[in-house]
Chains A and B, each alone.
Chain A
């Protein structure tokens, strides 16, 4: 996989979320992603960036334009140093929530993207990586 363009945005308040979503849309538009795929990508990202704010308080996101074989897409990494997730498998189930939400965040986000990877260590934080291809 080749990385073409990269940008890191710090997340510590809701204002950063708005900025982050705008930047993500700009990147997606620039590579010519369809409106539907843009909507899916940004919605998934919106869920994941909320998790940073709710569970860790702050963290950072990296938006990257990537290319592999014949396809181009956007990769986003969400990284925080929060409490981490004790049981990742459980957190990936529909309707499971440790907070006050619908519990659709993680599994829902996974359904909206082409690649989804979550790594979490209790006490050290969580890193989620997603990729949505252009087509």
Chain B
């Protein structure tokens, strides 16, 4: 099959670009607040150039082939930035899909006389652009995933503050569910702070943990054991009645773990261990 489309597009590159940019601008979905017009123009020109280069190879099927590296690279880059800028999936997909419309429009003008070639060329080009728009969606989703991963690790970071309550005594209130990833962060932060401050007692307060099941208990025991290996003691406080009940019903063995009902009593215990006394001042 002769490469008619390639020849036409090379010849009328400027027109395709113009129609395409117009198409995008007409689309009600285009976000002028998120992207300036000249930026859109530059991105479109860059993609169109490498696209025309790629189809010169007469390969319209395999977008994994080397001649399409640059095209997929540009598309991925654009979708990734758009995902991070907060574009919707529709807005991102429109970018490539509107190129299809512009190319078909130009092909129609050029191949007015030859209907059968027109149809076969349109089929080829639209299959190709469909697969390219799938690339857009794939990278878009990947970009969103990245945002989610970053956010959840940020949440993990900020939701596990280690507080120095007294010289040699650390407290770590845990709020929310304790999964294995979070346990890692808790352990790392706690142990590092033990090293930094030379503390010998750490209080892990679980008042803010909604449920304690076998898995959460395992994570707590791991943290207690790791603290002990460092040479410090870890007390678990904030055991609510319903948590005590589940622990017993599930048959979780907390022997060897120092537990206290409230943070206050854990603190008292820690003071006693460090030979500190808190006394009320007598009125003279």
Contacts and interface: CB of A to CB of B under 8 A. Distances in A.
Interface of A: 36, 69-70
Interface string B220-240: 000000000000000000000
B27 interface: no
A24 B184 CA distance: 23
A36 B190 CA distance: 13
A36 B184 CA distance: 10
Interface in B116-155: 142, 146
B188 A36 contact: yes
Nearest to B146: A70
A70 B146 CA distance: 9
B240 to A, nearest CB: 30
A31 to B, nearest CB: 18
Contacts of B146: 70
Nearest to B153: A135
B38 to A, nearest CB: 31
B188 A69 contact: no
A47 to B, nearest CB: 18
Q: A-B pairs with the 5 shortest C-beta distances?
A: A36-B188, A70-B146, A70-B142, A69-B142, A36-B184
Nearest to B143: A70
Contacts of B142: 69-70
Nearest to A37: B184
A113 to B, nearest CB: 14
A70 B141 CA distance: 12
B156 to A, nearest CB: 12
Contacts of A36: 184, 188
B4 to A, nearest CB: 37
A134 to B, nearest CB: 13
Interface in B181-198: 184, 188
Nearest to B187: A36
A4 B50 CA distance: 27
Contacts of A69: 142
A113 B229 CA distance: 21
B17 to A, nearest CB: 32
A61 to B, nearest CB: 27
Contacts of B188: 36
Contacts of A70: 142, 146
5 contacts: A36-B184, A36-B188, A69-B142, A70-B142, A70-B146
A69 B143 CA distance: 11
A36 B185 CA distance: 11
A105 B18 CA distance: 65
A100 B83 CA distance: 55
A81 to B, nearest CB: 36
A20 to B, nearest CB: 26
A83 B146 CA distance: 45
Contacts of B184: 36
A69 B142 CA distance: 9
A63 B248 CA distance: 46
A114 B142 CA distance: 20
A69 B146 CA distance: 11
A69 to B, nearest CB: 7
Interface string B162-189: 0000000000000000000000100010
